């Protein structure tokens, strides 16, 4: 057999091992990404046995970053991005400065030079796109205000990195290898001898040029192409068009304008977000995105030499403390200073308490230019892998802390007699809304309606007309806020999360209606509902016979299979009434 198949080997062994170890991690109630990272370490050069091609793994990982950022762009409009610039821009800059300072301090303590310390500190100051987005997606936070701030913050960091990759070689004054232009990661570094300001100015111009190009040309051409393809009716071509646009714009951005692939993909998505086809485009890119995101974690694992942990325990600990506590405390303080609620500050700091791909690119660049000692790169890698592993734990801690703070706030609000003063600033209003939407309900004998989309909104409207007391649990910010404004009691969040479902006072409820399309989440909600109240009736929505059985086995009394009801309605139109009723 021909063994010269490194790409196939890397993909197959990477995905295969990640699958096995991810499943094992899941079995032990750990996040699957722990398994993906360990899979990477196992096929990396520092452990015995098969060694995958690192270069190929990095490129595959980059595809994951592109598709992820494209997906985020699809959820984002320019308006969203501008609406968070007030906090994201100063927040990211100040936080990066603090983290760089901390890293510099550690580097000086280790006896490195000032420039080594600066590169090292900068590498510790930027969070990984993939890790952040995965965490937000898992918690369904992308569409919330805190999610938008976190993503805006990330975009600013990304832009700062584009600049840093230009400035550092200019400061270093030497170009590592071949001379001339050298592509490192996905960014272009400066020409030798170029002054810092010229390099900076050129980069700034290119970024502006790219953004202007996307807003003027991209905004017209991209939606037009997709609409055209959508009208051909070919699902296959539509899928292909989405992929070609995401990858094509990302590559074009990197090649022509020297901005990062991730930023290019983000803009491609953002331009599409304004078109009605955004939702379908997002769905079509999902499966590939998930597969390549897994390869990202595998490729990170491959870089890691477990021996560093034993050889340099103290510096590793220092790096980890800076990433996990230094950065997140700084972010927390900034968000609070800007008048945002504690919950928002906690989510932002948890999102940023890790480092990843950008840090590796910087570390490689620093070592290549002779500015950073090898040891620095090893520490950055160790810090990245440990902080990525710890990130889910950190989020878990933040969720618990948030719950406690909210309970305390609710108790304090209940204890305070008299009407609350009218909220004044936007931040105060948002905080009041947030708290109102999360406080445990005091309703009794009520109906709890989970999901207020196509199905739930019709049910809710009818309940309101019939004056049946009900409350809604809804995940999407916009819908929850609207309901709240219309005077309907709403709990904002994912009903599958124990903290959210327990706020609905199910123990005293009369009925639970689960009107969401995802049967796995629905089953968790039904189960929690049943555990809280054995007597109430539970109605759930399903889309297949298997889902009906699954929901019943978790405690639902009545499960409506949506497609069957559609079929019945169609038959009622085409057959005489008695025949249609037999179905």
- Window contacting ligand AMP (CB under 6 A); options: 33-41, 267-275, 434-442, 493-501: 493-501
Question: Would you say 117 and 104 are in contact if contact means Cβ atoms under 8 Å apart?
Answer: yes
Contact between 451 and ligand AMP per CB under 6 A: yes
Contact between 452 and ligand AMP per CB under 6 A: yes
Q: How far is the CB of 471 from ligand AMP (least distance, A)?
A: 12
Under DSSP, the state recorded for 216 is I
Choose, by CB under 6 A, the member of 144, 494, 527, 533 that binds ligand AMP. 494
Paired strand residues for 188: 183
Dihedrals phi, psi of 184, to nearest 5 degrees:
-120, 125
Dihedral Cα 567, 572, 573, 575, nearest 10 deg: 110
- Window contacting ligand AMP (CB under 6 A); options: 16-24, 268-276, 360-368, 491-499: 491-499
Question: Would you say 226 and 238 are in contact if contact means Cβ atoms under 8 Å apart?
Answer: yes
Tokens of 269: 């998505």
Other C-beta atoms closer than 10 Å to the C-beta of 48 total 6
Choose, by CB under 6 A, the member of 248, 453, 507, 555 that binds ligand AMP. 453
Q: Which is nearer to ligand AMP, 136 or 316 (CB)?
A: 136
Q: Interface mask (CB under 6 A) for ligand AMP, residues 209-248, using x and -?
A: ----------------------------------------
Q: How far is the CB of 528 from ligand AMP (least distance, A)?
A: 11
Question: Would you say 381 and 364 are in contact if contact means Cβ atoms under 8 Å apart?
Answer: no
Question: Would you say 525 and 534 are in contact if contact means Cβ atoms under 8 Å apart?
Answer: no
Contact between 568 and ligand AMP per CB under 6 A: no
Q: Which is nearer to ligand AMP, 125 or 137 (CB)?
A: 137
Q: Which is nearer to ligand AMP, 222 or 491 (CB)?
A: 491
Other C-beta atoms closer than 10 Å to the C-beta of 513 total 24
- Window contacting ligand AMP (CB under 6 A); options: 169-177, 246-254, 433-441, 489-497: 489-497
Contact between 477 and ligand AMP per CB under 6 A: no
Q: How far apart are the first and last CA of the chain?
A: 57
Tokens of 339: 């008048």
Site for ligand AMP, residues 244 to 283, rule: CB under 6 A: none
Buried b (16+ CB within 10 A) or exposed e, 344-361: bbbbbbbbbbbbbbbbbb
Question: Would you say 123 and 354 are in contact if contact means Cβ atoms under 8 Å apart?
Answer: no
- Window contacting ligand AMP (CB under 6 A); options: 57-65, 213-221, 468-476, 529-537: 468-476
In the sheet that holds 511-514, the strands lie side by side as 490-492, 470-474, 447-450, 511-514, 537-542, 558-561
Contact between 517 and ligand AMP per CB under 6 A: yes
Tokens of 243: 């992929």
Paired strand residues for 449: 472, 513
- Window contacting ligand AMP (CB under 6 A); options: 95-103, 161-169, 344-352, 448-456: 448-456
Q: Which is nearer to ligand AMP, 517 or 555 (CB)?
A: 517
Q: Which is nearer to ligand AMP, 80 or 375 (CB)?
A: 80
Under DSSP, the state recorded for 507 is G
- Window contacting ligand AMP (CB under 6 A); options: 283-291, 295-303, 408-416, 509-517: 509-517
Contact between 488 and ligand AMP per CB under 6 A: no
> Given its phi and psi angles, is residue 128 left (phi above 0), alpha (psi -120 to 50 degrees) or beta?
beta
Contact between 300 and ligand AMP per CB under 6 A: no
Q: How far is the CB of 395 from ligand AMP (least distance, A)?
A: 17
Q: How far is the CB of 232 from ligand AMP (least distance, A)?
A: 26
Stretch (H or E) spanning 128: none
Choose, by CB under 6 A, the member of 450, 504, 540, 548 that binds ligand AMP. 450
Q: How far is the CB of 569 from ligand AMP (least distance, A)?
A: 17
Dist CA 9 CA 107 (whole Å)? 39
Contact between 521 and ligand AMP per CB under 6 A: yes
Q: Which is nearer to ligand AMP, 67 or 490 (CB)?
A: 490
Dist CA 489 CA 473 (whole Å)? 9
Choose, by CB under 6 A, the member of 176, 495, 523, 539 that binds ligand AMP. 495
Contact between 529 and ligand AMP per CB under 6 A: no
Dist CA 255 CA 442 (whole Å)? 58
Contact between 459 and ligand AMP per CB under 6 A: no
* 323: CB partners within 8 A, 6+ apart: 99, 124, 353, 354, 355, 383, 387
Q: How far is the CB of 544 from ligand AMP (least distance, A)?
A: 15
Q: Which is nearer to ligand AMP, 453 or 469 (CB)?
A: 453
DSSP 152-202: HHHHHHHHHHHHHHHHHHHHH----SSSS--EETTEEPPPTT--HHHHHHH
Q: Which is nearer to ligand AMP, 381 or 514 (CB)?
A: 514
Is 51 exposed, middle or buried, given 0-12, 13-18 or 19+ CB atoms closer than 10 A? middle
Contact between 516 and ligand AMP per CB under 6 A: yes
Q: Which is nearer to ligand AMP, 364 or 521 (CB)?
A: 521
Choose, by CB under 6 A, the member of 85, 227, 400, 454 that binds ligand AMP. 454
- Window contacting ligand AMP (CB under 6 A); options: 48-56, 73-81, 430-438, 512-520: 512-520
Helix (H, G, I), strand (E, B) or coil at 75: coil
- Window contacting ligand AMP (CB under 6 A); options: 363-371, 441-449, 494-502, 504-512: 494-502
Q: How far is the CB of 430 from ligand AMP (least distance, A)?
A: 20
Q: How far is the CB of 150 from ligand AMP (least distance, A)?
A: 19
Paired strand residues for 560: 541
Paired strand residues for 471: 448
User: Contact positions toward ligand AMP, by CB under 6 A?
Assistant: 450-456, 473-476, 479, 494-496, 515-518, 521
């Amino acid at each position: 057999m021909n063994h010269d198949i490194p790409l196939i080997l890397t993909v197959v062994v990477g995905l295969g091992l990640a699958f096995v170890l991810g499943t094992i991690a899941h079995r032990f109630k750990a996040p699957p990404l722990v398994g993906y990272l360990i899979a990477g370490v196992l096929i990396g050069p520092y452990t015995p046995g098969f060694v995958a091609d690192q270069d190929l793994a990095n490129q595959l990982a980059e595809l994951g970053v592109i598709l992820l950022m494209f997906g985020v762009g699809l959820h984002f409009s320019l308006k969203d991005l501008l609406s968070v610039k007030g906090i994201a821009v100063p927040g990211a800059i100040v936080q990066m400065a603090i983290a760089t300072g901390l890293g510099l301090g550690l580097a000086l303590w280790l006896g490195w030079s000032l420039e080594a310390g600066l590169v090292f500190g900068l590498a510790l100051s930027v969070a990984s796109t993939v890790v952040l987005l995965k965490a937000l997606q898992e918690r369904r936070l992308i569409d919330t205000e805190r999610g938008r701030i976190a993503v805006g913050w990330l975009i600013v960091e990304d832009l700062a990195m584009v600049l840093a990759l230009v400035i550092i070689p200019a400061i270093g004054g030497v170009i590592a290898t071949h001379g001339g232009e050298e592509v490192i990661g996905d960014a272009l570094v400066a020409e030798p001898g170029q002054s810092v300001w010229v390099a900076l100015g050129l980069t700034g111009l290119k970024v502006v040029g790219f953004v202007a190009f996307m807003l003027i040309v991209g905004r017209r051409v991209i939606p037009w192409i997709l609409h055209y393809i959508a009208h051909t009716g070919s699902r296959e071509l539509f899928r292909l068009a989405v992929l070609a646009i995401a990858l094509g714009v990302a590559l074009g951005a990197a090649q022509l304008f020297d901005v990062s692939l991730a930023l290019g993909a983000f803009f491609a998505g953002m331009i599409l977000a304004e078109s009605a086809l955004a939702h379908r485009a997002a769905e079509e890119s999902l499966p590939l995105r998930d597969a390549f995101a897994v390869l990202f974690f595998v490729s990170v694992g491959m870089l890691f030499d477990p021996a560093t942990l034993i050889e340099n325990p103290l510096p590793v600990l220092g790096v980890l403390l800076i990433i996990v506590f230094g950065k997140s405390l700084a972010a927390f303080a900034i968000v609070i200073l800007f008048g945002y609620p504690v919950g928002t500050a906690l989510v932002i700091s948890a999102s940023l308490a890790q480092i990843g791909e950008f840090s590796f690119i910087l570390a490689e660049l620093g070592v290549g230019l002779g500015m950073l000692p090898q040891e620095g790169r090893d520490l950055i890698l160790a810090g990245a892998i440990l902080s990525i592993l710890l990130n889910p734990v950190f989020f878990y801690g933040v969720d618990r802390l948030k719950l406690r703070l909210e309970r305390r706030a609710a108790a304090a609000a209940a204890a305070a007699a008299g009407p609350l003063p009218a909220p004044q600033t936007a931040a105060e209003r948002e905080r009041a809304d947030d708290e109102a939407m999360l406080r445990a309900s005091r309703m009794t004998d009520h109906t709890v309606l989970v999901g207020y989309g196509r199905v739930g909104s019709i049910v809710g409207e009818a309940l309101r007309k019939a004056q049946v007391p009900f409350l809604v649990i809804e995940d999407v910010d916009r819908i929850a806020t609207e309901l709240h404004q219309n005077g309907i009691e709403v709990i904002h969040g994912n009903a599958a999360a124990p903290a959210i479902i327990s706020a609905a006072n199910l123990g005293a409820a009369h009925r639970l209606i689960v009107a969401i399309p995802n049967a796995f989440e629905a089953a968790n909600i039904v189960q929690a509902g049943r555990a809280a109240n054995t007597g109430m009736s539970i109605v759930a929505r399903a889309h297949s016979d298997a889902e009906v059985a699954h929901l019943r086995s978790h405690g639902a009394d009545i499960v409506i299979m949506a497609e069957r009801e559609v079929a019945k309605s169609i038959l009622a139109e085409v057959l005489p009434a008695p025949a249609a009723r037999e179905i």
